[in-house]
Structure 1
Amino acid sequence: MAELLALERLSAGYGEARVLNEVSLAIQDGRSLALLGRNGAGKTTLMNTIVGVTTHQGGTIRLGGRDITRLRPEQRAMAGVGWVPQERNIFKSLTVEENMTAVARPGPWTVARVYELFPRLQERRRNLGNQLSGGEQQMLALGRALTLNPRLILLDEPLEGLAPIIVDELLAALGRIIRDEGLTAIIVEQNAQKILGVTDDAVILDRGMVVHSSTSAALAADRVALETHLGVAGRVGHRGAA
């Protein structure tokens, strides 16, 4: 399996403030990564750095072997980096369908396939973005990112603040995207219990540095690591666990 994304001694932040300290990690094509850590650990900054909206302070980012460290955000998007930020950033004055057709690029993910993944978006296809619930806006943000047909998709806290039934629906969709479709993904999530069950690998950040790296199944079974780095007591369920 080929390496899709490689970060080598990556340091970044905002202005002169450094948040990431020589972060090195790699993700193989077709694998999914849970990016975990306490509040302020640098998770969102790492995602923003891959997208290209922070101040680069050292190190390299390679996508499919290509150095994208100096590319502008729109160039990284064209190279195959898809992004669903915490703010979702949907076009609230456009309809659901217009949100996706406005950015769609050729590839396996079409608007029709997004509707298959999220039937409630099809029901609301003529609604404006500002007429959707929070959960529906999150589905649209993910669907819009998919219609860009990225090589790598980044999701920053996609489950935050959503009702349990919507969380279950989104987790099922993420499981399909990751397991059945094989899309390479990095997912930031505060709640390890929710995300380790659908991802292949896991990295924990603390103070802008990688302090743990393993498979998601191994971390789910590692009580010491969970308690030490995340404050999670007990064993976390994983799809591969008995």
Structure 2
Amino acid sequence: MLTLTGMSGGYGQANVVRGVTAQVAGGEVVALLGRNGTGKTTLLRTIFGLADRQGGEIVFDGHAVPPGRPDLLARWGAALMPENRGVFPSLTVAENVRLATRKGFVPAIDPRDLFPLLAERAGQPAGTLSGGQKQQLGVARAILAGRRMVVIDELTQGLQPSVVTEVLAGLAAVAAAGVAVIVVDQHAGLMLGWCHRAVVMEAGRVVLDAPVGPETRRQLDELLMVR
């Protein structure tokens, strides 16, 4: 579904991501892990054309992705929920949901079943929601728009633990329908319980890319000091 070959990126002359080569298959849930400042968010932004690609190639669903074209990934069915949640503050909850909905696409799980607030606060401007409520709306929008790939940056930010579990189960159902799912979060131990594969970054480079298993968990303990 997604193939990165020698990809580097950053902002202007600042090089943040260096020579990343990785693949994500349809139906796979991948945890992108690493300490703060290791380049995880910049990697996502470079993939989606929101940071400067300084080298390498990106292929998504058989299409070569040119630099600086976030519109193409959206058109081809990839959706990113960024750190700022990607909601339109002046629009209502219902309007945000409607804009994300893709004609003819029915996700494996209805976000309204995950997040009752989508109905309860349908007429409320998104900018007046709490941080956790905006997070729910952002995740819902990504699920609705991501018919081929869903990418969530800082999944658990602002969410109650019970909601996090429901969201992870929902993303697992999305992946089971053949959608590629990438999740970035600081809670590595929690992510490993739901993901098929872990990709760990240090200083802008991938230092571990392996299926989740006992040996991978041991390596992650050493790299991230997971408790």
Common fold, TM-score beyond 0.5?
A: yes
C-alpha displacement of 1:80: 1.9
Partner residue in 2 for 1:140: 137
**What SS does the corresponding residue of 1:102 show, helix, strand or coil?**
helix
Measure the CA separation in 2 of the matches of 1:173 and 1:160.
Answer: 17
Measure the CA separation in 1 of the matches of 2:221 and 2:203.
Answer: 17
Measure the CA separation in 2 of the matches of 1:103 and 1:222.
Answer: 36
Residue 228 of structure 1 aligns with an amino acid whose one-letter code is E
**What SS does the corresponding residue of 1:145 show, helix, strand or coil?**
helix
Partner residue in 2 for 1:230: 224
Q: Which deviates more from structure 2 when the two are superposed, residues 15-24 or residues 209-218?
A: 209-218
**Identity among equivalent pairs (%):** 38
Partner residue in 1 for 2:212: 216
TM-score (norm 1): 0.86
User: What is the 5 A alignment of 1:10-89?
Assistant: 10-70=7-67, 72-89=69-86
1:91-145 deviation per Cα after TM superposition (whole angstroms, max 9, x unaligned): 12221111111232223337x9321232232222222212322222111111112
Partner residue in 1 for 2:180: 184
For structure 1, the residue ranges without an aligned partner over 5 or more in a row are: 234-242
1:75-99 deviation per Cα after TM superposition (whole angstroms, max 9, x unaligned): 2211222010010121122211111
For structure 2, the residue ranges without an aligned partner over 5 or more in a row are: none
Residue 9 of structure 2 aligns with an amino acid whose one-letter code is A
Q: Which of 99, 102, 106 is the aligned partner of 2:103?
A: 106
User: What is the 5 A alignment of 1:147-162?
Assistant: 147-162=144-159
Q: Which deviates more from structure 2 when the two are superposed, residues 44-53 or residues 113-122?
A: 113-122
User: What is the 5 A alignment of 1:91-130?
Assistant: 91-109=88-106, 113-130=110-127
Preserved CA contact (<8 Å) 1:205 1:211: yes
C-alpha displacement of 1:154: 1.0
Measure the CA separation in 1 of the matches of 2:159 and 2:139.
Answer: 14
* CA RMSD, 1 decimal: 2.0
Measure the CA separation in 2 of the matches of 1:117 and 1:42.
Answer: 30
Q: Which of 179, 198, 203 is the aligned partner of 1:207?
A: 203
Measure the CA separation in 1 of the matches of 2:21 and 2:111.
Answer: 33
Preserved CA contact (<8 Å) 1:109 1:149: no
Measure the CA separation in 1 of the matches of 2:136 and 2:175.
Answer: 15
Measure the CA separation in 2 of the matches of 1:90 and 1:97.
Answer: 11
TM-score (norm 2): 0.91
Preserved CA contact (<8 Å) 2:35 2:224: yes
C-alpha displacement of 1:56: 1.2
Change (3 A) 1:145 1:177: same
